């Protein structure tokens, strides 16, 4: 080989190797540089994202505060336009707005002089804001707008706050005052504290001039910045001076000398800036590791390249130039081509490998002979990858278009991420001859994507895109992995449909959340919303959403934002608010006097109503003055002792002192004080309690004890004191008299010796007193001889001076009252029974009158028919049946009328023993065959005045009832006795079944009976009771079920033994007929009775009433006798009788009635030409009465 031929080849080989080396070095350097630039870009983007997120969050907070202040401002201006401020309504409005602003301390309102007129925490009307930094700017504003101060120390809270305020105007445009809302810097720190910034990152919030406000983390390398500090880097100073709104830069922080990439951003709606920084050591740490790996790989590649060039040079020199020149050139080309980092392969129509470069063979771990001519299945590749590759290859053959496949491959060098490009190789006619595949390692790209996910994961909560379609559908096109923590769903679950997220929102917040979303979509306002979610694993949580909307071409809306967990912040806000409310409640609601004053001079700064009441002064008299100025210390030594204890120990406990009120009255107090720090100044908190009443009570207690002892000793009721579970401790004289024992004897016998242990009410009484501490009721106590007697008890549990439980019992003997109550109960029962019979008697009297008229008409018709048809036996028999029925009806009606009788109609003096013997004789002949009769009659027995028939009927009723109670036989005893109270007793006793209590209680009720149908009417005992009352006597029943019943009738005794004179016999009618006037309002009587009168041979004239009868007589009608009905409407029989006697004093009158009362009896005794007849009457009775009256005339 000649030098001439060798030199060009050597030069070419050297140039190629050198060029490849330079290319490799260039690519390696560029890769390192690009990787570093990429890490820096990611850091810059992350700081921009952090700054923007802070901008969104703080701007949203500021807008909500501004909206609340505007609402209050508008209401104030409306109130001023109406001429007055309705403070309760304004307070309610402000309260509702404060609930929407958890980050604000409170909303306060001042007037034009700066005085706080609403939400004044000091309760001092003179408190003002004129010296606050917001006052002058707000007052001098040309147009009302939101003004936000730099951080200031709160005068009421003693904490750093940022104050947002707006002015409000009068109707004429003049300044009227301001509305302000302080915001704690603590809240702003909470807003930034949730971000992950790495070990050296910072997130700082400053005012518009760069003054420090808050930073996360609060301490960096042990250093904490003071609020307002201007210790900033020169780069940040330059940016502030330039006036740009956002800029990313690199600087070394002066406070820790750490180099950071930072993004400066001005807050849109607030005079603040945010600086987000990531430490260079944090975000370049991974790049430095990859840099050394790349340099190592580059050095190895250069070594291989130069070694290969040297080998090639030596091989080429050993071959013949003419025979191997082309092969050497092709080998060099093939070496360069096949040294590609990409994996190249070719497939035929049967998907067999026809070629694969060394890089592909190396990563597959196969030799060319093991692969060429085989499909993937035949070469033994994994089944899932074979299916993927075969489908891609076939798709290219079918469509003639390239396609890409992404998959993971584990080769001989470990797992890698690959991207396979399959492209068609076409012939001249465009037909696919084969498929060429180029596979590239995209592991670095996947790592970059993973790094992006890590950056996203550093943002607390979830970074998201939310899309609202025009038709109402919605979805989350993008959501970071944080959505699994925020909503407990995966990004895939909500990528096409947002329904799972809305299913997590609290039902009470769902409608408002949807409304807020639609409002933001309509106005494109920045979206800020706080709401609750209910999660399957976490339960109830709070979420805050901040997002910026944009309109899409299809009319929908897309939000870019962040959702964070604010549960802890909400809990902190609620706890803080609750703490402040509790302090305010305790301070202002306490009845004690409470004041906060300066420790240096004692000037009162804040007082409650209790202190003003104690001193008798108004607030304006106290605030700004000291206790010395007010002269409240009566004894200066008290104040010296108080001040000395406060200086020495920092506190005073229960110092007793005397204060002087404004009106000169002196009050005794207990004073306690503590030294505190308030608004950065040493203060003293003092509490005074008025113990004047306690002092007076102590004095009164001594008097009360004397009064108690006097009451105890002289009380008419028994009073004893006991241990609730132990012995009797004391008893008063009344107790000794009640129980017949001395105090020592009462203590000795204890409760068991004075209380009737058999009283069933005792256990319940003791249980109730133990449960409620008191008991009032009745129990039986024991006298000295063991006799129980009823008492009224009032017992109460109390504690003595030593706190030991004791019981006091007041006992009142109610024996006499119980006897009176029993007597009253008996009298009430008798009165009730009498009222029942009176009611029944009134009813019976009315019914008897109508029934007697009906029966009278029937009786008259029967009597007439019997006379006319005396020769007809069949008709006479039928008429006799009707006559008997009529007589029975008359008897029944007669029984009913007894209930209406108040007096005796035909009384006579009777001997009850004779009456008993007569009736018993009748019983012996009828129903006494199966009963043993015993008579115990006392002789001589006092005489009574009464009706023989009524008393005989009553005795017979007693005997019949007694025999009915002894269905199988028994003993019937009849007894009479003289009683000590000038009465005689008739008693009937049986040995029958007796009556249960419920039957005995109703035995004398009308129509009550226990006998079967047809065997009793229930009127027997009722009529007997009525008879007893008519005779001015009493009737009582005693019965024991299973042993028998005794009924007792007691009647008053009368003097003498002569009977009433018998009625004078009327002379017999000498003969002749009479003209009779029949006066009756009943048509039946006027139709039936005239036939009876005519049958007796008399003439009859009828009149419907008294008025008509008088008219007939005055008209000249001559009559010999009048039959007059007593019960007529209009002018009754008694009135008619009176008129008749005025004109015809000796005209005989026969009074017809079914019930002869006392008034009628008196009339008959006074009028010798009058007589009575009982309806219904027979023909014989009417004939006798008419003959008697005619004979009298």
The SS3 call for residue 480 is coil
pLDDT band (50, 70, 90) for residue 896: low
Residues spanned by the domain of 385:
340-459
The answer to whether residue 206 is domain-embedded is: no
Note whether 1100 and 1008 are same-domain residues.
no
pTM of the full predicted structure? 0.32
Note whether 471 and 594 are same-domain residues.
no
Check pLDDT > 50 for residue 330. no
- Please report, for the chain, how many H helices and E strands are present, in that order: 37, 43
Percent of the chain with pLDDT over 90: 19
Cβ atoms of residues 442 and 417 within 8 Å: yes
- Supply the CATH number for residue 1173's domain: 3.40.50.2300
Encode 981-1011 in three state secondary structure. Answer: CCEEEEEEEECCCCCCHHHHCCCCCCCCCCC
Which pLDDT score is estimated for 1027? 79
Determine whether 1095 is exposed, middle or buried from the number of CB atoms within 10 Å of its CB (0-12, 13-18, 19+): middle
Check pLDDT > 50 for residue 822. yes
Cβ atoms of residues 344 and 437 within 8 Å: yes
The answer to whether residue 221 is domain-embedded is: no
Note whether 597 and 663 are same-domain residues.
yes
pLDDT tens profile 995-1011: 888 777 766 666 556 66
Which pLDDT score is estimated for 875? 78
Which pLDDT score is estimated for 3? 43
**Best-predicted range by mean pLDDT (312-321, 374-383, 428-437, 690-699):** 374-383
- List CB contacts of 385: < 8 A, sequence separation 6 or more: 376, 407, 409
The answer to whether residue 53 is domain-embedded is: no
Q: Which residues of 334-358 are buried (b: 16+ CB within 10 A; e: fewer)?
A: eeeeeeeeebbbbbeeebbbeebbb
Cβ atoms of residues 580 and 156 within 8 Å: no
The answer to whether residue 63 is domain-embedded is: no
The per-residue pLDDT of the chain, averaged, comes to: 81
pLDDT band (50, 70, 90) for residue 1061: very low
Rounded CA separation 31/744 (Å): 114
Which pLDDT score is estimated for 964? 82
pLDDT band (50, 70, 90) for residue 543: very high
Task: Flag the least confident range among 410-424, 602-616, 1066-1080.
Answer: 1066-1080
Note whether 930 and 974 are same-domain residues.
yes
Note whether 470 and 451 are same-domain residues.
no
pLDDT band (50, 70, 90) for residue 1071: very low
Note whether 452 and 477 are same-domain residues.
no
Rounded CA separation 341/439 (Å): 9
Which pLDDT score is estimated for 357? 82
pLDDT tens profile 91-147: 888 888 888 777 777 888 988 888 888 876 666 666 777 778 788 888 888 777 888
Check pLDDT > 90 for residue 499. yes
Task: Flag the least confident range among 48-52, 89-93, 500-504, 863-867.
Answer: 863-867
Rounded CA separation 54/714 (Å): 86
Region of 333 on the Ramachandran plot (φ > 0 left; ψ -120 to 50 alpha; else beta): alpha
pLDDT tens profile 705-724: 776 777 788 888 888 889 87
Which pLDDT score is estimated for 558? 94
pLDDT band (50, 70, 90) for residue 840: low
Task: Give the number of domains in the chain.
Answer: 7
Which pLDDT score is estimated for 1059? 40
pLDDT tens profile 935-951: 899 999 999 988 887 78
Task: Flag the least confident range among 88-102, 150-164, 913-927, 1073-1087.
Answer: 913-927
Note whether 686 and 786 are same-domain residues.
no
pLDDT tens profile 462-490: 889 999 999 999 999 988 888 999 999 99
Encode 266-305 in three state secondary structure. Answer: ECCCCCEEEEEEEEHHHHCHHHHHHHHHHHHHHHHHHHHH
Note whether 1044 and 935 are same-domain residues.
yes
Element (H, E) at 795: strand 788-799
The answer to whether residue 292 is domain-embedded is: no
Rounded CA separation 260/111 (Å): 49
Cβ atoms of residues 319 and 328 within 8 Å: yes
Rounded CA separation 48/6 (Å): 61
The answer to whether residue 979 is domain-embedded is: yes
Note whether 980 and 1025 are same-domain residues.
yes
Mean of the pLDDT values across residues 1035-1061? Answer: 78
The residues with which 563 forms a beta bridge, in sequence order, are 462, 545
Q: Euclidean distance between the first and final Cα of the chain, in Å?
A: 202
Structural domain ending residue among the three candidates 434, 459, 484: 459
**More confidently predicted of 539 and 456:** 539
pLDDT tens profile 2-60: 444 455 666 776 777 777 778 777 777 777 887 888 888 888 888 888 888 788 778 88
Which pLDDT score is estimated for 326? 38
Structural domain ending residue among the three candidates 639, 661, 695: 695
Cβ atoms of residues 201 and 282 within 8 Å: yes
Cβ atoms of residues 916 and 937 within 8 Å: yes
pLDDT band (50, 70, 90) for residue 325: very low
Which pLDDT score is estimated for 502? 93
Which pLDDT score is estimated for 936? 92
pLDDT band (50, 70, 90) for residue 324: very low
Note whether 368 and 433 are same-domain residues.
yes
Rounded CA separation 183/713 (Å): 71
Sign of CA dihedral 8, 11, 15, 17: positive
Rounded CA separation 1148/1190 (Å): 8
Rounded CA separation 240/233 (Å): 11
Check pLDDT > 80 for residue 837. no
1079 phi/psi in degrees, rounded to 5: -110, 110
Provide long-range contacts, Cβ within 8 A and 24+ apart, for 678-683: 678/158, 678/596, 678/605, 679/153, 679/154, 679/155, 679/156, 679/157, 679/158, 680/153, 680/158, 681/598, 682/598, 682/599, 682/600, 683/596, 683/597, 683/598, 683/599, 683/605
Check pLDDT > 60 for residue 1099. yes
Which pLDDT score is estimated for 1014? 46
The answer to whether residue 46 is domain-embedded is: no
**Best-predicted range by mean pLDDT (118-122, 330-334, 643-647, 1056-1060):** 643-647
The answer to whether residue 107 is domain-embedded is: no
pLDDT tens profile 575-624: 777 777 777 777 887 888 999 888 888 898 889 998 999 899 998 888 88
Task: Flag the least confident range among 131-135, 318-322, 869-873, 979-983.
Answer: 318-322
Task: Flag the least confident range among 186-190, 686-690, 961-965.
Answer: 186-190
Check pLDDT > 50 for residue 1065. no
- List CB contacts of 160: < 8 A, sequence separation 6 or more: 151, 152, 153, 154, 184, 185, 227
Rounded CA separation 897/679 (Å): 102
Which pLDDT score is estimated for 545? 94
Note whether 983 and 1037 are same-domain residues.
yes
Note whether 535 and 638 are same-domain residues.
no
Which pLDDT score is estimated for 1068? 35
- Supply the CATH number for residue 629's domain: 3.30.450.20
**More confidently predicted of 149 and 323:** 149
**More confidently predicted of 409 and 911:** 911
Which pLDDT score is estimated for 1100? 94
Mean of the pLDDT values across residues 242-263? Answer: 86
């Amino acid at each position: 080989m000649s030098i001439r031929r060798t030199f060009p080849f050597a030069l070419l080989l050297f140039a190629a190797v050198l060029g490849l080396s330079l290319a490799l070095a260039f690519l390696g350097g560029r890769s390192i540089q690009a990787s570093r630039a990429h890490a820096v870009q990611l850091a810059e983007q992350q700081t921009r994202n952090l700054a923007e997120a802070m901008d969104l969050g703080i701007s949203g907070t500021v807008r909500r505060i501004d909206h609340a202040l505007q609402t209050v401002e508008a209401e104030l201006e409306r109130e001023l336009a109406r001429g007055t401020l309705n403070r309760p309504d304004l307070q309610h409005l402000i309260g509702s707005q404060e609930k929407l602003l958890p980050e604000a301390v409170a909303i306060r309102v001042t007037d034009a002089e700066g005085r706080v007129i609403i939400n004044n925490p000091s309760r001092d009307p003179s408190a003002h804001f004129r010296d606050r930094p917001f006052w002058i700017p707000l007052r001098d504003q040309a147009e009302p707008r939101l003004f936000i101060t730099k951080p200031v120390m709160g005068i009421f809270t003693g904490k750093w706050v940022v104050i947002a305020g707006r002015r409000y105007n009068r109707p004429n445009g003049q300044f009227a005052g301001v509305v302000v809302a302080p915001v704690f810097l603590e809240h702003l720190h909470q807003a930034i504290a949730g971000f992950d910034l790495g070990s050296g990152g910072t997130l700082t919030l400053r005012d518009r001039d760069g003054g420090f406000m808050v930073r996360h983390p609060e301490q960096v390398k042990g250093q904490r910045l003071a609020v307002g500090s201007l210790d900033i880097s020169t780069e940040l100073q330059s940016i502030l001076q330039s006036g740009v709104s956002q800029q990313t830069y690199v600087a070394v922080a002066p406070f820790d000398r750490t180099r950071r990439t930072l993004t400066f951003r001005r807050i849109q709606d607030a005079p603040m800036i945010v600086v987000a920084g990531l430490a260079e050591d944090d975000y370049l740490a991974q790049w430095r590791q990859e840099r050394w790996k790349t340099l190592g790989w580059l050095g190895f590649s250069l070594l291989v390249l130069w070694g290969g060039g040297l080998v090639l040079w030596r091989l080429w020199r050993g071959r013949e130039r003419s025979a191997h020149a082309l092969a050497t050139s092709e080998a060099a080309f093939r070496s360069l081509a096949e040294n590609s980092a990409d994996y190249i392969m070719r497939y035929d129509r049967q998907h067999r490998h026809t070629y694969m470069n060394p890089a592909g063979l190396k990563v597959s771990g196969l030799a060319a002979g093991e692969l060429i001519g085989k499909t993937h299945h035949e070469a033994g590749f994994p089944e899932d990858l074979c299916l993927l590759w075969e489908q891609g290859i076939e798709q290219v053959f079918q469509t003639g278009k390239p396609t890409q496949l992404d998959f993971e491959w584990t080769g001989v060098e470990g797992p890698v991420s690959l991207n396979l490009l399959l492209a068609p190789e076409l012939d001249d006619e465009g037909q696919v001859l084969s498929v060429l595949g180029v596979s590239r390692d995209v592991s670095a790209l996947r790592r970059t994507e993973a790094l992006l996910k890590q950056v996203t994961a550093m943002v607390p909560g979830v970074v998201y895109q939310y899309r609202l379609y025009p038709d109402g559908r919605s979805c989350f096109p993008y959501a970071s992995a944080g959505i699994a923590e925020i909503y407990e769903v995966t990004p895939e679950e909500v990528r096409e449909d947002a329904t799972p997220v809305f299913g997590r929102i609290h039902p009470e917040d769902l409608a408002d959340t949807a409304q807020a979303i639609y409002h933001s979509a309509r106005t494109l306002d920045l979206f800020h919303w706080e709401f609750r979610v209910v999660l399957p694993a976490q339960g109830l949580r709070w979420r805050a959403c901040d997002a910026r909307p944009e309109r899409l071409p299809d009319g929908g809306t897309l939000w870019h934002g962040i959702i964070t967990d604010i549960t802890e912040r909400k809990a902190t806000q609620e706890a803080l608010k609750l703490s402040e409310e509790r302090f305010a409640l305790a301070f202002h609601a306490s009845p004690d006097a409470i004041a906060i004053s300066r420790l240096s001079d004692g000037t009162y700064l804040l007082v409650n109503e209790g202190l003003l009441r104690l001193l008798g002064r108004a607030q304006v008299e106290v605030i700004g003055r000291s206790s010395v100025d007010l002269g409240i210390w009566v004894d200066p030594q008290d104040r010296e002792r108080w001040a000395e204890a406060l200086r020495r120990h920092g506190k005073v406990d229960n110092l007793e002192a005397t204060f002087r009120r404004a009106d000169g009255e002196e009050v005794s107090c207990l004073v306690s004080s503590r030294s505190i720090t308030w608004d950065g100044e040493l203060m003293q908190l003092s509490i005074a309690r008025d113990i004047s009443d306690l002092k007076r009570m102590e004095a009164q207690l001594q008097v009360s004890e004397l009064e108690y002892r006097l009451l105890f000793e002289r009380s008419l009721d028994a009073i004893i004191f006991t241990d609730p579970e132990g012995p009797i401790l004391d008893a008063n004289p009344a107790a000794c008299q009640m129980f017949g024992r001395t105090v020592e004897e009462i203590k000795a016998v204890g409760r068991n010796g004075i209380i009737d242990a058999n009283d069933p009410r005792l256990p319940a009484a003791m249980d109730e007193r133990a449960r409620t501490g008191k008991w009032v009721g009745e129990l039986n106590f024991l006298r000295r001889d063991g006799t129980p007697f009823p008492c009224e008890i009032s017992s109460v549990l109390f504690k003595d001076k030593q706190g030991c439980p004791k019981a006091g019992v007041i006992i009142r003997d109610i024996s006499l009252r119980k006897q009176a109550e029993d007597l009253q109960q008996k009298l009430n029962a008798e009165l009730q029974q009498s009222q029942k019979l009176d009611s029944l008697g009134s009813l019976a009297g009315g019914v008897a009158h109508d029934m007697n008229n009906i029966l009278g008409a029937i009786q008259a018709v029967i009597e007439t028919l019997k006379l006319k048809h005396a020769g007809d036996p069949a008709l006479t028999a039928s008429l006799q049946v009707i006559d008997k029925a009529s007589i029975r009806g008359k008897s029944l009606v007669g029984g009913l009328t007894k209930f209406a009788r108040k007096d005796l109609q035909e009384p006579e003096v009777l001997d009850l023993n004779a009456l008993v013997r007569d009736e018993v004789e009748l019983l012996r002949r009828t129903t006494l065959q199966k009963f043993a009769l015993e008579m115990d009659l006392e002789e001589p027995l006092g005489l009574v005045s009464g009706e023989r028939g009524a008393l005989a009927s009553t005795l017979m009723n007693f005997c019949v009832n007694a025999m009915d109670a002894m269905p199988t036989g028994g003993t019937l005893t009849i007894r009479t006795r003289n009683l000590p109270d000038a009465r005689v007793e008739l008693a009937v006793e049986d040995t029958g079944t007796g009556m249960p209590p419920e039957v005995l209680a109703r035995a004398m009720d009308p129509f009550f009976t226990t006998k079967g149908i047809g065997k009793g009417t229930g009127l027997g005992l009722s009529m007997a009771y009525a008879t007893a009352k008519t005779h001015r006597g009493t009737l009582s029943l005693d019965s024991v079920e299973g042993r028998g019943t005794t009924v007792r009738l007691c009647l008053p005794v009368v003097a003498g033994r002569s009977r009433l004179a018998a009625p004078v016999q009327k002379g017999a009618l000498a003969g002749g007929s009479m003209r009779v006037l029949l006066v009756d309002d009943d048509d039946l009587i006027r139709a039936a009775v005239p036939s009876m009168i005519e049958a007796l041979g008399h003439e009859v004239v009828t009149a419907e009433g008294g008025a008509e009868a008088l008219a007939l007589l005055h008209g000249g009608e001559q009559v010999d006798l009048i039959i007059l009905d007593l019960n007529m409407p209009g002018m009754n029989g008694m009135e008619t009788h009176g008129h008749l006697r005025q004109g015809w004093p000796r005209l005989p009158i026969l009074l017809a009635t079914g019930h002869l009362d006392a008034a009628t009896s008196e009339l008959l005794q006074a009028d010798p030409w009058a007589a009575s007849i009982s309806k219904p009457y027979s023909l014989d009775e009417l004939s006798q009465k008419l003959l008697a009256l005619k004979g009298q005339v």
